[in-house]
């Protein structure tokens, strides 16, 4: 509730409560949808989560040009289904950067769900090393960039009306690898049905000024959240850090 109040100061308390209720309704759908990945058939997966024609065109063009890409997104919509659909439809090998869970059973379960249709996983600490190792193949590496970094190593910006730290890893790795960056969003069409939309954020990240790419993907996510706020994960204490004082 506090996250929602801070993010939408213009909304009344009644509107905030309604938004909170809508979020929990959605969250209760998201859990069974995610676990359904263990048994869902290919045809059913592609029926429930589609890739827009314009998005397919973007990914096909990069593959035809022999270019690997970076995908950036947030914990918005059903990101697990989006990865499955991409692996089933697109020609690139998809790798998802993830943070392994400490619980071995749950980590194994998530690993099976995420790799069932051919998606590869890269542990966060091994991201750059593994991307260099995979450089000979045409790939798409997905970063979920709305997690909370340590304040001293973060890029700070205004996000949802609050001073917010953002991971810079997506931008830094894109600059090192020289891969184009594509932002994707997963829109909920109706209960249990989604579509994936894509937009190019940068064709040539090496020639962008520092912070430009981070601002772009953060701004895109903010716009999505404002359009369908119940689809973002509000349960975390997302604004737990304060911006460090400037060094004299």
Is position 203 within any domain? yes
Q: Per the domain annotation, does 239 fall within a domain? A: no
Residue 86 included in any domain: yes
Strand blocks (E) in 8-112: 49-51, 69-73, 93-98
Instruction: Give domain status of residue 243, yes or no.
Output: no
Domain-located, residue 168 = yes
Query: In total, how many domains does the chain have?
Result: 1
Question: Could you tell me if residue 241 is inside a domain?
Answer: no
pLDDT tens track for 77-98? 999 999 999 999 999 999 999 9
Confirm whether 240 is domain-assigned: no
The predicted model scores a pTM of: 0.93
Average pLDDT over the chain, rounded to an integer: 94
pLDDT of residue 248: 52
204-214 pLDDT, tens digit each: 999 999 999 99
* pLDDT beyond 90 at 60: yes
* Residue 180 belongs to domain spanning: 2-231
Digit-coded pLDDT (tens) for 102-145: 898 988 988 999 999 999 999 999 999 999 999 999 999 999 99
Q: What angle do CA 34, 39, 43 make, to 5 degrees?
A: 95
pLDDT of residue 237: 82
């Amino acid at each position: 509730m506090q996250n929602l109040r801070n993010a939408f100061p213009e909304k009344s308390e009644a509107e905030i409560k309604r938004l909170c209720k809508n979020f929990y309704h959605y969250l209760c759908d998201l859990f069974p949808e995610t676990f359904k990945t263990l048994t869902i058939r290919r045809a059913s997966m592609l029926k429930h989560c589609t890739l827009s024609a314009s998005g397919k065109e973007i990914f096909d063009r990069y593959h035809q040009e022999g270019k690997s890409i970076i995908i950036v997104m947030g914990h918005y919509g059903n990101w697990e289904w989006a990865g499955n659909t991409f692996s089933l439809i697109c020609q690139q090998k998809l790798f998802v950067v993830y943070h392994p869970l400490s619980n071995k059973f749950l980590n194994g379960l998530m690993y099976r769900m995420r790799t069932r249709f051919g998606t590869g996983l890269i542990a966060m600490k091994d991201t750059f090393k593994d991307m260099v190792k995979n450089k000979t193949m045409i790939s798409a590496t997905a970063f979920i960039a709305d997690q909370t970094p340590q304040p001293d190593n973060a890029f700070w910006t205004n996000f949802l009306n609050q001073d917010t730290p953002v991971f810079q890893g997506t931008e830094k790795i894109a600059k090192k690898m020289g891969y184009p960056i594509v932002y994707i969003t997963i829109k909920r069409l109706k209960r249990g049905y989604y579509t994936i939309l894509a937009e190019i954020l940068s064709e040539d990240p090496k020639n962008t000024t520092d912070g430009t790419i981070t601002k772009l993907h953060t701004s895109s996510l903010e716009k999505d959240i404002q359009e369908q706020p119940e689809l973002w994960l509000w349960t975390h204490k997302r604004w737990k850090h304060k911006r460090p004082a400037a060094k004299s």
